[in-house]
Amino acid sequence: MWRRLLVFGCAGSASLALASGVPAKTPQLVVSGATEIGASAATVIRVKEEKTDAAPFRTSIYLPSGYVANLGQSAGTQVGTVTMSVQQLALSPDAIDVAGTMLTDTPSKYAGNLCAPGKHAAVWLLHVIVQGATFDVPAYVDPTTGNEAAFSSAKVVLCLSNPYEQAAPGTRAPFGVKFVDTRMTLSAGVFTNPTVAGSFVWRAVITPWTANGAAEDAARTIEAQSIVNIPSSLSLKATVQTIRHTKHGRETVTNSLLLSGKLLEDLKGVAGARITFYANGKTAGSAPTAASGAFSRTKGLAKRMTLKAIATLPTRETGCVHPLPATAAPAGCVAATIAGYKLSSNIITATPKRR
């Protein structure tokens, strides 16, 4: 049963070393957003595939338990933007990049669709133009129920037309458009973070079309995960170190500065990250984080300085957490990521001692 296997709303996380670059496994789900408990900011949901992957028929994206989806906007409201990499299989295997908006529509207009039938809490239209043709891809948004509610608070379902020439007559996507890489950026206020710290598992369940065929390929349905660790924080403190010298009866003072702090995700240290320091707006060296997330660097202090630190984290590959059962994703969980981001510390001021 899904409920028995997926009672965990979040995943335990240990101190994670950073991987080098974005993992090659696809499809991938990469999610980033607000870094604080209970906060709301722009949320980026990216579903990435390769041109050689089978075209998606249906993609269901599950918000972890604890997240709140704020729905109910009136029809025609822009709730975000979208960028896509698309192929036009009827014309070329090459991919092009397109961009557009995400607009709310009236849910009752879509109750009879066959891919995600029934009444929906909200419908968002991914509105893009490809080679002069307009595409409105509906995303059906609903609170979860039943077994799905054991691990998710809400889901977003995308249904995509068949791009292959073997599609049933009259149903092929115009120009054979196949969506390869979809990046949805939801506006602040649409999703709100959980009110407790944790390591939260976003999931995408993707059912492809049969490659060069006319039907959905349910047996090849896969799961991809994105782990979001809340909160993320970067602290910085500065300790002035003073050495006094006496020569020929004259005392001089030399000042240095010990910069230190910690990089934490879900209140746990992140190892191997690179911390860049800035003094009076200019770069002032860098330092790696240790297993505990701690870092330090010493620099000279000849004048008053305003200082901050920035952590730059790449997208990391990690292991799947409590994968869905085969009844939901027969082909298993193929990839899990932690999205990359930049994080700024608090700003501090250090003044050298003269005596």
223-249 confidence digits (pLDDT tens)? 999 999 999 999 999 999 888 777 666
- 1: which residues sit within 8 A by CB, 6+ positions away? 147, 325
pLDDT at 244: 78
User: In this model, does residue 7 exceed pLDDT 70?
Assistant: no
- 132: which residues sit within 8 A by CB, 6+ positions away? none
pLDDT at 4: 31
- Weakest-pLDDT range from 244-248, 331-335, 344-348: 244-248
Buried (b) or exposed (e) across 309-330, using 16+ Cβ within 10 A?
bbbebbbbbbebbbbbeeebbb
pLDDT level of residue 355 (50, 70, 90 thresholds): low
Cα separation, 48 vs 50, whole angstroms: 7
pLDDT at 349: 95
Cα separation, 255 vs 243, whole angstroms: 6
* pLDDT, mean of residues 264-279: 95
Cα separation, 197 vs 267, whole angstroms: 8
Work out the end-to-end distance of the chain between its first and last CA atoms, rounded to an integer number of angstroms: 72
Domains of the chain: 2-231+315-340 (no CATH), 233-313+342-350 (2.60.40.10)
Cα separation, 291 vs 235, whole angstroms: 16
Closest CA to 275 of 264, 285, 286, 265: 286
Query: Residue 2: in which H helix or E strand, if any?
Result: helix 2-5
User: In this model, does residue 266 exceed pLDDT 50?
Assistant: yes
pLDDT at 24: 53
Cα separation, 149 vs 66, whole angstroms: 11
Q: What pTM was computed for the model?
A: 0.88
- The residue whose two tokens read 């009110």 is 195
For residue range 301-324, what is the model confidence (pLDDT) as tens digits?
989 999 999 999 999 999 999 999
pLDDT level of residue 22 (50, 70, 90 thresholds): very low
What is the greatest pairwise CA distance in the chain?
A: 98
pLDDT at 63: 98
Determine if the peptide bond prior to 27 is cis (ω within 30°).
Answer: yes
* pLDDT, mean of residues 322-351: 96
Cα separation, 62 vs 203, whole angstroms: 5
For residue range 112-159, what is the model confidence (pLDDT) as tens digits?
888 899 999 999 999 998 878 888 999 999 999 999 999 999 999 999
User: In this model, does residue 8 exceed pLDDT 90?
Assistant: no
Burial of 183: CB neighbours in 10 Å, binned 0-12, 13-18, 19+: middle
**Greater pLDDT, 250 or 317:** 317
Cα separation, 346 vs 293, whole angstroms: 16
